[in-house]
């Protein structure tokens, strides 16, 4: 988490998907309260609406819900909407905070009938707590062990029916028995530019900002498909306009504000461009090993792999092969350079390896 929040400077990246305290404060005021107000994720919204409506018609608690997907796409917001739609209290905790079975037992024993329990990053929960959660989800019961050794006694504790909403950015790390106990699983996808424009329009109205259609498009196109990043960039544009005395923000003003924060037209920041520039300028497009690439840009290996690479790979700017990282044609073009004939990605063997590696990563993520 610390690496995701910042690079080697120790400061959070403006285009990082993880949220900080300021983001939490802003999101609290901008969060939609109903599924109808929630922008994007049409398939998940439709399915979730059906699950909630059916539970209300049956007069029973809703099935447990698992929400997966990259950070910043609205998993916490959907959990709040679920509780509000069911008109029940919401209890929020996280996997890293539950390190012992007793921690989970304390939370579960204090739940009220029908309450929604939201566990963020549920895949990071400890194994003993995880095993206790199996019984709680299925039978609404936990066994509390009192004493130690031969004198230990197991006391069954009945729980009121509740709805667990789990959120994870790494669904593949969840054990099968836990995944199988969720009645509904929804995977959140990255947003398109038009969808992000709708998010920004709603946020701008709540923040009392006047922006042109082109300005919304400018900010949305640099937001990496993530509403949290879009709202963060909108806040920076708002600050720029306030300092420069701009009442009506157009595309030029929005672009100037984001250029000042070094977020380019494709949403790349300084770290992303440094990785591409090193790969192209110092290693002729690769292939080059990850550790060598990290040394070239003056970053830790894990920072390059977990912070910069995912977006660069998704945008088709960088490729990962068994022989190392390579710059794709789009990387040369984005840096304003002509694609040379010797570019590594033109090697047939590397193209085959790249395709095979992409298929393996896709299978692993699914």
DSSP 109-142: HTPPTT-EEEEETGGGS-HHHHHHHHHHHHHSEE
Residue 336 C-beta-side C-alpha neighbours within 13 Å: 3
**Residue 17: pLDDT over 80:** no
- The model's pLDDT over 184-209, given as tens digits with 9 standing for 90+, comes to 999 999 999 999 999 999 999 988 88
Annotation-wise, does 148 bind a ligand?
A: no
Q: What is the pLDDT of residue 248?
A: 92
Q: How confident is the model at residue 16 (pLDDT cuts 50, 70, 90)?
A: low
Annotation-wise, does 320 bind a ligand?
A: yes
What is the rounded radius of gyration, in angstroms, for the C-alpha atoms of the chain?
23
- The model's pLDDT over 326-359, given as tens digits with 9 standing for 90+, comes to 888 888 888 888 877 766 555 555 555 554 554 4
Q: What is the pLDDT of residue 146?
A: 67
Q: What is the pLDDT of residue 7?
A: 39
Q: How many CB atoms lie within 10 A of CB 194?
A: 12
State what percent of residues in the chain have pLDDT above 90: 32
- Catalytic residue flag (residue 56): no
Annotation-wise, does 181 bind a ligand?
A: yes
Residue tagged active-site, from 169, 226, 303, 321: 169
Residue tagged active-site, from 45, 224, 228, 273: 228
Annotation-wise, does 75 bind a ligand?
A: yes
Average pLDDT, integer, range 314-320: 87
Residue tagged active-site, from 13, 45, 91, 120: 120
CA distance 201 to 207: 10
- Catalytic residue flag (residue 76): yes
Give the length of the chain: 366
CA distance 169 to 156: 33
CA distance 246 to 190: 31
C-alpha distances (whole Å) from 166 to each of 43, 163, 228, 249, 350 are 18, 10, 19, 39, 39
Residue tagged active-site, from 13, 75, 224, 232: 75
Residue tagged active-site, from 13, 45, 61, 76: 76
Segments in the chain forming alpha helices (H)? 2-5, 21-30, 42-58, 75-86, 101-109, 127-139, 176-180, 193-206, 213-221, 227-243, 251-260, 270-281, 290-297, 301-303, 309-314, 329-334, 348-365
Annotation-wise, does 202 bind a ligand?
A: no
- Catalytic residue flag (residue 148): no
Q: What is the pLDDT of residue 328?
A: 87
**Angle between helices 227-243 and 213-221 in degrees, nearest 10:** 130
Q: Measuring CA to CA, which residue among 8, 11, 243, 78 is closest to residue 235?
A: 243
Q: Measuring CA to CA, which residue among 68, 61, 65 is closest to residue 89?
A: 61
- Catalytic residue flag (residue 232): no
- The model's pLDDT over 262-306, given as tens digits with 9 standing for 90+, comes to 898 888 888 888 999 989 888 888 788 888 989 988 888 888 888
- Catalytic residue flag (residue 185): no
């Amino acid at each position: 988490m610390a690496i995701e929040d910042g690079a080697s400077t120790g400061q959070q990246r403006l285009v990082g998907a993880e949220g900080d305290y300021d983001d939490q404060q802003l999101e609290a005021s901008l969060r939609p309260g109903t599924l109808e107000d929630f922008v994007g994720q049409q398939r998940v919204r439709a399915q979730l609406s059906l699950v909630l409506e059916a539970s209300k018609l049956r007069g029973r608690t809703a099935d447990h819900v698992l929400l997966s997907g990259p950070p910043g796409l609205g998993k916490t917001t959907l959990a709040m909407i679920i509780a509000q739609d069911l008109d029940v209290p919401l209890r929020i905790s996280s996997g890293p905070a539950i390190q012992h079975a007793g921690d989970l037992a304390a939370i579960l024993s204090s739940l009220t009938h029908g309450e929604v329990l939201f566990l963020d990053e549920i895949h990071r929960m400890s194994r003993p707590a995880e095993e206790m959660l199996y019984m709680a989800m299925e039978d609404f019961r936990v066994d509390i062990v009192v004493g130690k050794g031969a004198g230990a006694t197991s006391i069954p504790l009945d729980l009121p029916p509740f709805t667990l909403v789990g959120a994870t950015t790494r669904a593949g790390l969840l054990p099968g028995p836990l995944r199988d106990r969720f009645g509904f699983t929804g995977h959140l996808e990255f947003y398109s530019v038009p969808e992000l424009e709708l998010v920004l329009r709603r946020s701008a109205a709540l923040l009392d900002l006047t922006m042109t259609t082109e300005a919304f498009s400018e900010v949305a196109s640099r937001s990496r498909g993530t509403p949290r990043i879009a709202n963060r960039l909108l806040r920076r544009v708002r600050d720029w306009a306030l300092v420069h005395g701009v009442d009506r923000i157009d595309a030029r003003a929005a672009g100037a504000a984001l250029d000042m924060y070094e977020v380019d037209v494709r949403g790349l920041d300084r770290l992303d461009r440094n990785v591409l520039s090193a790969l192209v300028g110092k290693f002729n497009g690769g292939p080059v090993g990850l550790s060598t690439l990290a040394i070239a840009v003056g970053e830790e290996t894990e920072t390059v792999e977990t912070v910069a690479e995912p977006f660069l790979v998704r945008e088709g700017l960088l490729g990962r092969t068994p022989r190392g990282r390579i710059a794709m044609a789009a990387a040369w073009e984005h840096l304003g350079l002509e694609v040379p004939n010797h570019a590594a990605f033109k090697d047939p063997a590397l193209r085959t390896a790249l395709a095979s590696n992409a298929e393996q990563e896709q299978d692993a993520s699914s």
